Amino acid sequence: MTSPTPMLYYSNSSDPNFLHASKFSAPDNMICLVLKDKTLLYASDLEFGRAKQQSSCTVVSLSDYDEQKTIGDKIVKILSENGVTALYVTESFSCKLFEELSKSVQVKVFEGQIGERRAKTASEIENIKLANNASVASYKMIQQILRESTIGENNVLMYQNSVLTCEYLQQQVEITCILNNANSLETIVACGIHGTDPHCHGYGPVYAHQLIVCDIYPRHKSNYFGDMTRTFLKGTPTEAQTKLYETVLQVHDECINMSALNVSYKSIADHCMKKLAELGYEKKFVNGTYVGMMHGLGHGVGLEIHEEPRVNTRSESVIEKGDVFTIEPGLYYPEIGGVRIEDSLFVDQNGDIHKCADFGYEWVIE
């Protein structure tokens, strides 16, 4: 799918659509105009040299427009030079600039993610794999710390003569990711009851005999994300915890095995929810909260951690070449704990599906 042109950006590399269009990491807003036959990036004197070296665009000096005092006036001049009388902007475009430009040209808002971002190139997939490798290194580190931990008073885990906390493990993940050319600033390490809230980052001591949900989604220095989730337990699991984990892993494997070119994401997500219900884990609202699986099965991964395609029971997409997506079933019960298992997958140009990184599913750490 291609996005309509002309498309105008006045943004920076925090905007994934701008970043994809310009192929340039810029901390300050820049003008980028995507035409049918070329993409123009207007660079300040500060960024001009770097933009010429790193960007895939035709780079133009913004100093050529010094007579135009405001950004709006500069953009109007640029549009006039390129014969643009109607254009698109994305949802993040400045409301003030939208209003100003609308006096001179027809401006329409393009909703959502630009279409070109969905099908990943080989180099984009490699960057996502590198991000996932940072997750693998982090999980090896977490497992090692749990192995070396001892069980103290009240089942609190002790590590190097100190109480082992979720915050400490999160910090160690951040350090490990940095050493692997990535950042992971919102790491989830949630133990016990905290792990039953899927997006609770986790805090406080790590306890023996309780499930520990770890969700690591680093952003590689290339700006591409990875995403992988594992669940651990230090000590001895209960029968209920074991059944919960084995059920999630079974459904995780079934959904990955179902994933194939042209298969609908909805059909995979429907299978997940149906299978969980058959196994006695139907989503329910109990005592003021949801239990079971209360989130989608997965999502696309790229310049954003959550992007197209969506992998849920409402999805209208099928698996296509170049897709990168996650499969992440989970079950959450306050009286048992939470289990989530997630892998990122990519579809190569032959239509074959592979994991972005491989890490095992050992979950009980003695």
Q: Are residues 82 and 157 in the same domain?
A: no
Distance CA 65, CA 53 (A): 22
Whole domain around residue 43: which residue ranges? 7-116
Which of 206, 166, 205, 204 lies closest to 186 in space, CA to CA? 166
Domain membership flag for residue 19: yes
The continuous run of DSSP H or E covering 326 comes out as: strand 324-327
Domain membership flag for residue 1: no
Domain membership flag for residue 2: no
Distance CA 94, CA 72 (A): 11
Q: Are residues 174 and 63 in the same domain?
A: no
Tokens representing 345 are 């997958």
Q: Are residues 62 and 151 in the same domain?
A: no
3-state secondary structure of 289: strand
Domain membership flag for residue 143: yes
Give yes or no for a contact between 171 and 186, defined as CB atoms under 8 angstroms apart.
no
Distance CA 286, CA 288 (A): 6
Give yes or no for a contact between 59 and 51, defined as CB atoms under 8 angstroms apart.
yes
Q: What is the tally of structural domains in the chain?
A: 2
Tokens representing 57 are 């665009």
Q: Are residues 165 and 252 in the same domain?
A: yes
Question: Residue-wise pLDDT tens for the chain (366 aa)?
Answer: 678 999 999 999 999 999 999 999 999 999 999 999 999 999 999 999 999 999 999 999 999 999 999 999 999 999 999 999 999 999 999 999 999 999 999 999 999 999 999 999 999 999 999 999 999 999 999 999 999 999 999 999 999 999 999 999 999 999 999 999 999 989 999 999 999 999 999 999 999 999 999 999 999 999 999 999 999 999 999 999 999 999 999 999 999 999 999 999 999 999 999 999 999 999 999 999 999 999 999 999 999 999 999 999 999 999 999 999 999 999 999 999 999 999 999 999 999 999 999 999 999 999
Task: Name the amino acid, one letter, at 319.
Answer: I
Distance CA 364, CA 244 (A): 13
Domain membership flag for residue 301: yes
Give yes or no for a contact between 224 and 356, defined as CB atoms under 8 angstroms apart.
no
Which of 207, 236, 190, 205 lies closest to 332 in space, CA to CA? 190
The continuous run of DSSP H or E covering 228 comes out as: strand 228-234
Q: Are residues 194 and 251 in the same domain?
A: yes
For the CA atoms of 5, 11, 13, 16, what is the dihedral angle to 10 degrees? -40
Domain membership flag for residue 177: yes
Task: Name the amino acid, one letter, at 294.
Answer: M
3-state secondary structure of 75: helix
By residue count, the chain amounts to 366
Q: Are residues 135 and 101 in the same domain?
A: no
Within 10 Å of residue 77's Cβ, how many Cβ atoms?
Answer: 14
Q: Are residues 103 and 147 in the same domain?
A: no
Domain membership flag for residue 266: yes
Distance CA 275, CA 268 (A): 11
Residue 2: per-residue pLDDT:
79
Q: Are residues 282 and 149 in the same domain?
A: yes
Distance CA 341, CA 276 (A): 14
DSSP state letter for 200 = -
CATH number, domain at 230? 3.90.230.10
Give yes or no for a contact between 22 and 12, defined as CB atoms under 8 angstroms apart.
no
pTM for this entry: 0.95
Q: Are residues 130 and 109 in the same domain?
A: no
Residue 1: per-residue pLDDT:
66
Residue where a domain terminates, one of 100, 116, 132: 116
Residue 142: per-residue pLDDT:
98
Residue where a domain terminates, one of 84, 116, 148: 116
Q: Are residues 70 and 151 in the same domain?
A: no
Residue where a domain terminates, one of 116, 139, 161: 116
CATH number, domain at 56? 3.40.350.10
Task: Name the amino acid, one letter, at 359.
Answer: F
Q: Are residues 99 and 149 in the same domain?
A: no
Domain membership flag for residue 331: yes
Within 10 Å of residue 333's Cβ, how many Cβ atoms?
Answer: 18
Q: Are residues 68 and 172 in the same domain?
A: no
